[in-house]
Amino acid sequence: MAARPRHGLLRPVRLLHPRHRVYLVPRPGDIVLLGATEIESEDRSPMSLRSAVELMAAAHSVMPALAESRILRLDRNLRPALPDNRPHIDVTPQRVAVNGLFRHGWLLAPALVEDALAAWARLRADAALPGPEIER
């Protein structure tokens, strides 16, 4: 959910309630990104009313200023998760695959990319393979 409040939020905030885990992320243009429901499912149907209401109620409890916010969009999707809910990096000389970031992808991606590229560089150096040409 994206909303347009006058919020003053400067950095991401996370609510770790036992039932509703929510994060609020400030975006340019006085927008707050609100996420995320966590339902173990492969269901790709539209968001349910219950999920939306619970998510918004939890966000309102953290930040009452959201009460008069306008909903710009409601999205839902599946998040890749492995059985242990930990990310996995698989590196071969020809490719690098990172998977299983689940709901923490926005937070973990920068560090995992660094780890994956470092592992790939080590593998290629050990195999004496030429590296890619990267334009900057």
Residues 66, 96 within the same domain: no
pLDDT under 50: residue ranges of the chain? 4-5
Residue 67 lies in a domain: yes
Q: Is 19 exposed, middle or buried (0-12, 13-18, 19+ CB in 10 A)?
A: exposed
Residue 80 belongs to some domain of the structure: no
58 and 102, same domain (yes or no):
no
* Residue range(s) defining the domain that contains residue 116: 88-126
State pTM to two decimals: 0.57
Total domains present in the chain:
2
Judge contact between 21 and 38, C-beta under 8 A: yes
Same domain, 11 and 49: yes
Q: Residues 69, 109: one domain?
A: no
pLDDT of residue 116: 92
Domain match, 62 and 94 both: no
Establish how many alpha carbons lie within 13 A of residue 50's alpha carbon, considering only the half-sphere containing its beta carbon. Answer: 2
Predicted local distance difference test score (pLDDT) of residue 102? 81
pLDDT at 105: 79
